[in-house]
Amino acid sequence: MSLEVIILAAGQGSRMKSRLPKVLHPVAGKPLLEHVVATAGSLNPVAIHVVVGHGAEKVKNALSDYTLHWTSQTQRLGTGHAVSQVLPELNPDSTVLILYGDVPMIAGKTLSKLIGSATSAPALLTAQVGDSSGYGRIIRDENGELVAVVEEKDADAAQRQITEINTGIMAAPAADLFELLPRVQNNNSQGEYYLPDILSLAVAEGKTVSTCEAESELEILGVNDRIQLQQIEREVQRLQVEQLMREGVTMADAARVDIRGSLTCAADVSIDINVLFEGEVRLGNNVTIGPNCVLSNVSVGNGVCINAMSHLEGAEIGDNCTIGPFARLRPGTVLREGARIGNFVETKKSDIGAGSKVNHLSYIGDCDMGANVNIGAGTITCNYDGANKFKTEIGDGVFVGSNSTLVAPLDVGNRGFIGAGSTITKTVAEDELAIGRARQRNIRGWQRSRKEHNKD
């Protein structure tokens, strides 16, 4: 039977106190809703329908990379009403899975089990919780079969004691939704059309509603405020980092590494404290990362050492390179094998050849650098004339003396040598020495000024 997924995401999330729709707040670097969409996608449904209301345009834009069917719910009249909005889109033969845009960590495995239980009647994902306040309670008969879900606001004192709760997540044959949803009434304390009411209607028709439980509490946690958002974030981070340690990564402190995206590590990677990974990061064998580094969309070869306080973004690092401390590698930086970038060096859109060194206090932008080049301290590639960007081409074995400015567009041939303190504006051919600075003048017998005596 084919699967269709409905994700409810119309709520405002007023407790977030945010102008951003709740489902766009990130966990592990991705919007809550994107986690749900990705998990839904892993089940190979024929369609994913998302019910949006509050901030619909922002939500649609943020998820524009996915193929989704958008349904708008202009008035929030309850979860049953929200699902009803999608009925005209559903194929009557499919099984329908209902998810929540603000319950991000639900696992595909749990959902497969739930879908498998919903072949001839609805099936509900329930959970046993320590504190059931706020949730709909599961009411069972003497045989232990589910008979109804009662919302907290409609529950009596005895029902409120029940610790088995409705996670909200449900699977049902589309035919049951077509038949039962139009019969749901809103005569309850909130005046809403409650989706779980279809369960008691199904039971009244002689159907058996089966229930499944999630494998972990994290899976069913929803986000209503920023405290819960942070709790989920910490738990997700803990699980990610533990998984990496199991795979052989050394972490100085599991609680002080955050991964907002995906981190792939080869053997014997070692990560010090306060390191942040964003986007897609790949680390080769024997990579060591010092404290307080940020790596964003970076691929790093084997044997690379990234020292403390370095910030790397959109860079490709070859084997055995050394970076930092205090290095900033900006997008388009490529370091070839054994290159060294030292402290207070910024690189951008530059290819640094094998074994080349930029060890101190330099800016290298829009530069193509050969192998075994030595760039002295304080060297600047002047790549911008206020309107356009230009390239600096540096051959193999070039030596650039300290405090030089290389005014692009510029070519320095192989083994070119630039004297310290030069401003270089013209091509330097192979093996040439270029010096572009005023000659030193020494003045004999020069008198220093003296302090005048104060006359008054």
Q: What are phi and psi of 134, to 5 degrees?
A: 95, -20
The residue count for binding ligand UD1 (CB under 6 A) is 27
According to the binding rule CB under 6 A, does residue 177 interact with ligand UD1? no
> Coil, helix or strand for 353?
coil
- Cβ of residue 240: shortest distance to ligand UD1, in angstroms? 24
45 contacts: CB under 8 Å, gap ≥ 6 = 2, 3, 4, 5, 97
d(CA 103, CA 127): 14
25 is an active site residue? no
Exactly one of 3, 6, 8, 27 binds ligand UD1 (CB under 6 A); that residue is 8
User: Residue written as tokens 């009596």?
Assistant: 156
3-state helix, strand, coil in the chain (%, to 5): 20, 30, 45
According to the binding rule CB under 6 A, does residue 151 interact with ligand UD1? yes
- Cβ of residue 58: shortest distance to ligand UD1, in angstroms? 14
d(CA 406, CA 330): 19
- Cβ of residue 201: shortest distance to ligand UD1, in angstroms? 14
According to the binding rule CB under 6 A, does residue 210 interact with ligand UD1? no
Exactly one of 21, 31, 104, 168 binds ligand UD1 (CB under 6 A); that residue is 168
Contact letters for ligand UD1, residues 101-140 (x by CB under 6 A): xx--------------------------------xx----
Say if strands 299-300 and 316-317 run parallel, antiparallel, or are unpaired: parallel
Contact 63, 37 (CB under 8 A): yes
In the region spanning residues 222 to 281, those forming contacts with ligand UD1, defined by CB under 6 A, are: 222
Q: Residue 434 corresponds to which tokens in the numbers above? A: 């270029």
Exactly one of 81, 328, 357, 415 binds ligand UD1 (CB under 6 A); that residue is 81
259 contacts: CB under 8 Å, gap ≥ 6 = 28, 29, 237, 240, 241, 277
* Binding segment (CB under 6 A) for ligand UD1, from list 163-171, 234-242, 252-260, 343-351: 163-171
The conformational region for residue 286 under phi > 0 = left, psi -120 to 50 = alpha, else beta, is left
Exactly one of 71, 73, 95, 110 binds ligand UD1 (CB under 6 A); that residue is 73
Smaller CB distance to ligand UD1: residue 149 or 418?
149
Smaller CB distance to ligand UD1: residue 191 or 386?
191
According to the binding rule CB under 6 A, does residue 196 interact with ligand UD1? yes
Contact 385, 407 (CB under 8 A): no
Residues in contact with ligand UD1 by the rule CB under 6 A: 8-11, 51, 73, 76-79, 81-82, 100-102, 135-136, 149, 151, 165-168, 194-196, 222
Tell me the catalytic residues. 360
